[in-house]
Structure 1
């Protein structure tokens, strides 16, 4: 068996924090190997990169999520013992519940809510001296998330709830104050959503039949028991928080439209399929998640290495999305690359790889794509704005990252009245029924 490269270090956690997103990719290039060994958080870690590695990483016979996600991430980003940490039949049962919410009708409703909220936000933004898009879209998406799931939200609460969901996301790669802000935000959100779960169960809050809030509140586990209130709360937040997190991608999308004005004209003009290719390229090109973790479920051999049960393994998300062996000229922003993409579930993995229904690929990926498409149509066709001088660069060390200026717009003006059918036509929403 060939020798797998190994870094001879006591611990590389500090280097990970200093290098950020390219940490694994840097070593893949240095070692000229898609697999290497290192030490992170005082434990041995195997790092994997590329399409073939992704296929292995998502093999449920070889890997599991048990004890793969640090407590600090569970206590900020996703919640303690949430679906992302589960394996086997329990995970499959819980995942089926989430996927039951991703129906054409449900996604069509979300598309309509996005259209309405963009139009309403435009009216407010026209009265503002400047609009900080990253912050304003968090509010917009929070309104959409609550309306879509059936969670009551008072207008005076919007900014607090949006900032709390954003703080949970902002904490996943953080230490110090950002981490503690995320923990405090989660505590507030869980207290709020926990009360809603209790009211739904007691019949004190009427929500629409089949709404995500009702489905999660009344979901039963494999033994036929209702989830405890804490877990139901965590899983409902796991619908709300990721929708607010789309603000990161929307802001990067606005940067791409600004730096590539031809793309804006193509979207506004309704070029066939272009907005979806543009959205996919935003998700590929701009960084969000650096890597994912699993643990070896059963001993096996692959890539010249013996994987021992219980070993922590990282899959390189950022590097795989910027791999020249997969993507031609990966450091160029080029939406047309998706015209001939083979739709492999293992090479385009901004929200995980593998199958949505049976694996750990993000259940809300379609929500992200649809919300982004509507947003890009609005930014391109239904509004005009000025982009004053500002710092649109972003750090590859900060995780998650975003443009330093958060994309400032001035003199925002709506252009005509967005018509729901037209927005869906331009975005080519596959769930639009005409």
Structure 2
């Protein structure tokens, strides 16, 4: 049995904290491999990257997420007993609920709400004397849109509270220390809000049956039992919080347009006969934003049943980490991976094992994120608004992106000024 090379350090946790998104790729380059062994948080781990590794990792049924994500991240992201922690028939049955909630019609409703909220916010930005911090504004816009979409609309102070809580969960998920502690503290308030909404829906409150909240409140598992209130609340957050997280992709899209102004013309609405080309250009740009910019660095799994890959036997309960960021920048899968080139997606889709910002593999059978289509739809909408609905200036600021920070963001969180609504 061949063995993957091993990192010499007795534990690599500090390296992960200091290098962030580049931790796995840096060691792959150093060791001349796409798979290596190390210890993280004192536990043995196998780190892999690349298209072949993603195909191995996302083979349905091969890995479980149980025990594969540090508790500090798990409790801010999916949380215990959520769909991502299930396996087999239970996972498949619950995931069907998410796919129903994220149908094409439902995603269209979400996008419509986002566009209305964006235009209303941009109207207010016109009166701002100073710059507007785009990341924070987008988180607020998406919070209001997402809560309205799920069937639990929020306004005023409640909307501000939910925005603060969702943003803290996202910002703290990749951190150890104060950022994480803040996210954990605020999440408890959000879970109570979600549980109250589920309870009210089950008690006869006016909630449309085809909203995500209505579907969750009525959902029965494979044995015919309703989700208990706490689990239903967790899943309601797992439909809402990821929508707010799209703000980071949106800010990176704005950054990409700012740094590459020559790309703007292809994204602008033209004559009716050109609309298909514009839609395709926006889709390609959105895909390249998801590939090029950092979102979540890696995903973990524990082996369910032994298997062999590249001549090595993987034993039950071994911990494997797939490098998502590194796979999206893998030179074996992508031509000039460190260049931003939307035209690489000009002819449609991408290999599901090469483009993995939100996971890989088959959608229904595996753990690939059911919200990818929603992410792309929101990004296409945002790009359209950015080029056709507003004009703005980008004042001098620090737009660098620190890859040691998880989740990454522009240092200034992207400020815009002199906003004008034009369409």
Give the secondary-structure state (helix, strand or coil) at the position aligned to 2:221.
Answer: coil
More divergent stretch after superposition (270-279 vs 379-388): 270-279
Give the secondary-structure state (helix, strand or coil) at the position aligned to 2:418.
Answer: strand
Alignment deviations for residues 312-343 of structure 1 (CA, whole Å, 9 cap, x no partner): 00001010101111111111111101124662
Alignment deviations for residues 267-299 of structure 1 (CA, whole Å, 9 cap, x no partner): 114543111111111111110111000011111
Q: How does 1:317-332 map to 2 (within 5 A)?
A: 317-332=324-339
Check whether the contact 1:74–1:81 (CA below 8 A) recurs between aligned residues: no
Check whether the contact 1:251–1:407 (CA below 8 A) recurs between aligned residues: yes
Q: How does 1:194-213 map to 2 (within 5 A)?
A: 194-203=195-204, 205-213=205-213
Kindly indicate whether residue 340 of structure 2 is the aligned counterpart of residue 339 of structure 1: no
Kindly indicate whether residue 302 of structure 2 is the aligned counterpart of residue 301 of structure 1: no
Kindly indicate whether residue 273 of structure 2 is the aligned counterpart of residue 266 of structure 1: no
1:34 counterpart residue number: 34
Check whether the contact 2:144–2:153 (CA below 8 A) recurs between aligned residues: no
1:182 counterpart residue number: 183
Change over 3 Å in CA distance of 1:170–1:176 after alignment to 2: same
Check whether the contact 1:68–1:85 (CA below 8 A) recurs between aligned residues: no
CA drift at 1:103: 1.7
1:351 counterpart residue number: 358
More divergent stretch after superposition (291-300 vs 69-78): 69-78
Check whether the contact 1:288–1:350 (CA below 8 A) recurs between aligned residues: yes
Check whether the contact 1:290–1:318 (CA below 8 A) recurs between aligned residues: yes
CA–CA distance in structure 1, aligned partners of residues 222 and 242 of structure 2: 26
CA–CA distance in structure 2, aligned partners of residues 85 and 265 of structure 1: 43
CA–CA distance in structure 2, aligned partners of residues 88 and 71 of structure 1: 22
1:219 counterpart residue number: 219
Change over 3 Å in CA distance of 1:108–1:283 after alignment to 2: same
CA–CA distance in structure 1, aligned partners of residues 413 and 340 of structure 2: 20
Q: How does 1:27-426 map to 2 (within 5 A)?
A: 27-129=27-129, 130-203=131-204, 205-270=205-270, 271-272=277-278, 273-340=280-347, 343-416=350-423
Check whether the contact 1:11–1:40 (CA below 8 A) recurs between aligned residues: yes
Give the secondary-structure state (helix, strand or coil) at the position aligned to 2:144.
Answer: helix
Change over 3 Å in CA distance of 1:61–1:212 after alignment to 2: closer
Give the secondary-structure state (helix, strand or coil) at the position aligned to 2:21.
Answer: coil
CA drift at 1:222: 1.6
CA drift at 1:154: 2.4
Change over 3 Å in CA distance of 1:406–1:342 after alignment to 2: closer
Give the secondary-structure state (helix, strand or coil) at the position aligned to 2:123.
Answer: helix
More divergent stretch after superposition (59-68 vs 250-259): 59-68
Give the secondary-structure state (helix, strand or coil) at the position aligned to 1:27.
Answer: helix
CA–CA distance in structure 1, aligned partners of residues 122 and 158 of structure 2: 20
More divergent stretch after superposition (69-78 vs 331-340): 69-78
List, as ranges, runs of 4+ consecutive aligned residues in structure 1 with deviation greater than 4 Å: none
CA drift at 1:266: 1.6
CA drift at 1:74: 2.0
Give the secondary-structure state (helix, strand or coil) at the position aligned to 1:20.
Answer: helix
Give the secondary-structure state (helix, strand or coil) at the position aligned to 2:37.
Answer: strand
Check whether the contact 1:69–1:85 (CA below 8 A) recurs between aligned residues: no
Check whether the contact 2:63–2:304 (CA below 8 A) recurs between aligned residues: yes
**Gapped regions of structure 2 (runs ≥ 5):** 271-276
Aligned residues: 415
CA–CA distance in structure 2, aligned partners of residues 178 and 97 of structure 1: 32
Alignment deviations for residues 356-377 of structure 1 (CA, whole Å, 9 cap, x no partner): 2121111111111111111111
Change over 3 Å in CA distance of 1:61–1:247 after alignment to 2: closer
CA–CA distance in structure 2, aligned partners of residues 232 and 120 of structure 1: 31
Q: TM-score, normalised by structure 2?
A: 0.95
Q: State the superposition RMSD in angstroms.
A: 1.3
2:12 counterpart residue number: 12
Alignment deviations for residues 181-233 of structure 1 (CA, whole Å, 9 cap, x no partner): 11011101001111111111111x21112110010111111221111100000
Check whether the contact 1:387–1:408 (CA below 8 A) recurs between aligned residues: yes
1:429 counterpart residue number: none
Q: TM-score, normalised by structure 1?
A: 0.93
CA–CA distance in structure 2, aligned partners of residues 219 and 365 of structure 1: 22
Check whether the contact 2:60–2:365 (CA below 8 A) recurs between aligned residues: no
